[in-house]
Structures are given as structure tokens and as C-alpha cells.
A and B are shown apart, each in its own frame.
Chain A
């Protein structure tokens, strides 16, 4: 339950404040994805429910029903495939996996969004958004690893 409450708050923050700063959700950092990643890594198997509901919260706030749900499910599938094949014993490996998955998820969202609509994307804002997201991911992953080893 705690996950869903936090996911709702993060989705609201992301859709109001970050969206106002970054103009559109394609360039805004997806902090909810970081939170989802940490929760999926912690569990034995990647739960579909968490991916669907976190995506749904974003879709409800950003009026893009289905797009973020699909992005989060795709993220969850690829992560579960990677978890089945590899181990992520340290911060760097977890961070690299997140960076790879995050870029994949962004490309997924961008691809399906551009199939229906046109949106101009500012490369500087896109890079800035990704940098903020990865910095946030680094902080969360470090905290998670410290918590895990205690």
C-alpha cells in the first residue's frame, strides 16, 4: 500500500511541477520510474501490478491513457528478463542497468507518442531531464545498497 501512496504523490509532483518546468512529459525526468525500478529490484519477481498502477497514475494526471502504462510494463518485462540472466551486485551495475532501461523506456514512449501526435523536443531540456533522472536514480540506488547491506 505504501508503494501506491508514494507512487501517487510522485506522479502528482511529476505531472504538476516537473511538467511546468520541462514543458512536456517527453523531456521531463521520470522520477516515478526510478521508484518503480528500486521496488522491482527489491522483489523476487517483477510484479505487473506495480508497473500498471504507477503508469496509470501518470496517465491519469497527464491525460495519456495507456501510454505510460505500456512504457512501465515494457520496462518491467525487460527488467525481469535481465534479472533472470544477470546479477546486479553493486551500485554501478544497478545504475548502468537503470540508465539502459530508462533510455529504452523513453524511446518507447517517444516512438508511440510520435505515431499519434507531433511534439517539438528541445534537446537541451531532454538531456537535462535525463541528467536529473539519473542523478536521482544514483541517490536512490546508493541509499538502497546501504540499506541492503545493513
Chain B
């Protein structure tokens, strides 16, 4: 019985120590600080060990994520390779047909440049971006910039080692576009651009994809955006067609440029 009483007493004392925050009391504080000074190297070692363990865990998590992403990218690459083979077969067939019908056909390999984005439009309207490649990489005005299959814009100023790209969100941006296999003019705007000269009888509907149209056929048909709203203007022969650009400028950190003019 006595033993249990001692244990209960010790329990109560320990809880008392916990609740009164003993180390903060003025007389005990001196001893506490002295003890802490003596064991300071041990606490420093403990702190370093905690930091090291945390960094190891973070590194492990990052490596696991990178490994997963790598696997996914490998799968995508396999799909792209298959598509490339299919396209190459199409190209060969096309060349054979062109030879049979005596139609001169030249398949041109496009030269591209990778560029990092160094600045965005400070107005928040995404009307332009600055890239870290310029005359040094052989860029010139009028070249097309894209990301994945989405059109970003056209190079409108080129400096020594940087260039400015006028994006699909800019009001000063106009380009030949195609929707429902019919040619229109796309005019940029934020947050929506417009398709100009869409006749009242043209069968355009919300959700239709608007593609880049290259008059010379030398540039692939990149996606400009999707038709988001159609309304009829009060007077005139045309519809007002709003297009939501496909690219999200703020989410990309690099872009690809084709060294060909439209």
C-alpha cells in the first residue's frame, strides 16, 4: 500500500511540474539554464540530426515523385514514338502518291528553338512574354511560338539575347485561323479573343476548336482555343464569336519557337 502511495505521490508531483512550467520559475531557472548550457552540444547535435532526417525524407519523397513522373513520361514518349512512326508512314505514302500523279511535293523538316520565359506582362493581361533567346539563337520577327500543341503567339521584337512574343491574349494580335474547316481571322483579347467575319449562316457552335491556319502550309495547325460564346450583333451580317485561348501563359516556364515565318 505504501509503495502505491509513493507512486501516486510521484505521479501528482510530475503533473504539478508539468503544469507549473518549472523551468520558468526564477530560482529553478538558474539551474535549468546551467544544465542546458552543459548539454548544449548534445542539443545542437540533436537539432542537426532532426534537420538531416527531414532533408533525407524530403529527398526521398522528391525522388519517388520524380521516379513516378519518369515512368509516366516514358509511356507518353512511347505513344509519341508510335505516332511518329504512323506519321512517317503517311509521309511515305503521300510521297508515293505525289510521284504517281507527278505532283511536286517537298517534305520540310522544321527547325525549332527552346526558350525559357523570363518575364510576363505586368498588367496581368498576358499580352506579351519575354524569352531568353534572341538574335543569338537566330530568331527573327514573325516566328511562331507554341507550347505542347497550343499556340502562344508570334515573335514581334527581337533583341540581342532576348525577344518579345505577342500572345494570343493581345488586342494587337491577329492571325489567320480555321474553324469547322473554314478560314477566319482570329483577333486576340483578354480573357477572350474573337473570330472575325463569321457569317450568320456559318455553322459554328460553342466548343468548336479554332486552329492556326498557315497559308503556305509550312506551319502545323496549332490550337488557338475553343469557341466559348456566340451572339448575334444588332446590325450587320456577322456573328460575334468569342474564343477562349487554349494556352495558360502563367503556367508555362518555357516555349518552343519554329524558325519559319507564317
Contact surface of A with B, Cβ cutoff 8 Å: 12, 15-17, 19-21, 45, 48, 52, 55, 60-61, 64-67, 69-70, 73-74, 76-77, 80, 112, 116
Asked if B18 and A77 make an inter-chain contact with CB atoms under 8 angstroms apart, the answer reads: no
CB distance from B214 to the nearest CB of A (A): 54
Specify which chain B residues have a CB less than 8 angstroms from the CB of A16 in the assembled complex. 46, 49-50, 53
**CB of B62 within 8 Å of the partner chain:** no
CA distance A85 to B83 in the complex (A): 76
- Measured CB to CB, the nearest residue on chain B to A52 is B10
User: Inside 8 A of A52's CB, which chain B residues have their CB?
Assistant: 10, 14
Once the chains bind, are B46 and A70 in contact (CB under 8 Å)? no
Chain B, range 22-75, C-beta contacts under 8 Å to A = 22-23, 39, 42, 46, 49-51, 53-54, 57
Task: Determine how close the nearest CB of chain B comes to the CB of A60; give it in whole angstroms.
Answer: 8
- Given A66-B16, A77-B7, 20 extra CB contacts under 8 A: A12-B42, A16-B46, A16-B49, A16-B50, A17-B50, A19-B50, A20-B49, A20-B51, A52-B14, A65-B18, A65-B23, A66-B15, A66-B19, A66-B22, A70-B14, A73-B10, A73-B11, A77-B8, A77-B11, A116-B18
Contact of B11 among A21, A61, A74, A80 (CB under 8 A): A74
Number of interface residues of B (CB under 8 A): 25
User: What's the dominant secondary structure at chain B's contact region?
Assistant: helix
* CB-defined contacts of A80 to chain B, threshold 8 Å: 3-4, 7
Residue of B nearest to A45 (CB): B3
Task: Tell me how far the C-beta of A110 lies from the nearest C-beta in chain B, rounded to whole angstroms.
Answer: 13
Q: From known contacts A64-B18, A66-B22, A70-B14, infer whether A21 and B53 are also in contact, taking CB-CB under 8 Å.
A: yes
Expressed in whole angstroms, the Cα–Cα distance for A61 and B50 within the complex equals 12
Q: Which residues of A contact B23 (CB under 8 A)?
A: 65
Q: Specify which of A61, A77, A112, A116 is in contact with B46 (CB 8 Å cutoff).
A: A61
Q: B6 interface residue, CB < 8 Å from A?
A: yes
| Complex CA distance for A67 and B54, rounded to whole angstroms | 25
> In chain A, what residue has the closest Cβ to B4?
A77
The CA-CA distance from A146 to B23 in the complex, in Å, is 44
B48 nearest CB neighbor, chain A only: A16
* Shortest Cβ distance from residue A147 to the other chain B in the assembled complex, whole angstroms: 27
Q: Can you spell out 9 A-B residue pairs with CB atoms less than 8 angstroms apart?
A: A16-B46, A17-B53, A20-B57, A45-B3, A52-B14, A65-B23, A69-B18, A76-B7, A77-B4
CB pair B18–A70 under 8 Å, yes or no, is: yes
**A48–B6 CB distance below 8 A:** yes
Question: Which residue on chain B has the smallest CB distance to residue A49?
Answer: B10
Chain A residues within an 8 Å CB radius of B8: 77
Q: Which residues of B contact A45 (CB under 8 A)?
A: 3
A73 touches B7 (CB 8 A): yes
Q: Is B17 an interface residue (CB 8 A)?
A: yes
A61 and B43 alpha carbons, distance in the complex (Å): 8
**In whole angstroms, what is the CA distance A19 to B49 when docked?**
10
Q: Name A19's closest neighbour in chain B (CB-CB).
A: B50
User: Who on chain A is nearest to B50 by CB?
Assistant: A20
Which chain A residue lies CB-closest to B43? A61
Residue of chain A at shortest CB distance from B15: A70
Cβ of B50: which chain A residues have Cβ within 8 Å of it? 16-17, 19-20
Chain B nearest Cβ from A9, distance in angstroms: 12
User: How near does chain B come to A125, taking the closest CB pair, in angstroms?
Assistant: 12
State in angstroms the CA–CA spacing of A48 and B7 once bound together.
7
For the complex formed, measure the closest distance between the CB of A54 and the CB atoms of chain B, giving whole angstroms: 12
Q: Is the CB of B53 within 8 A of A65?
A: no
Residues of A within 8 Å of B46, CB to CB, are 12, 15-16, 61
A66 and B10 form a contact (CB under 8 A): no
Measured CA separation A143–B16 after assembly (Å): 38
Least Cβ–Cβ distance between A62 and chain B, in angstroms: 10
Are the CB atoms of B53 and A70 closer together than 8 Å? no
Given A65-B17, A69-B17, residue A20 in contact with residue B53 (CB < 8 A): yes
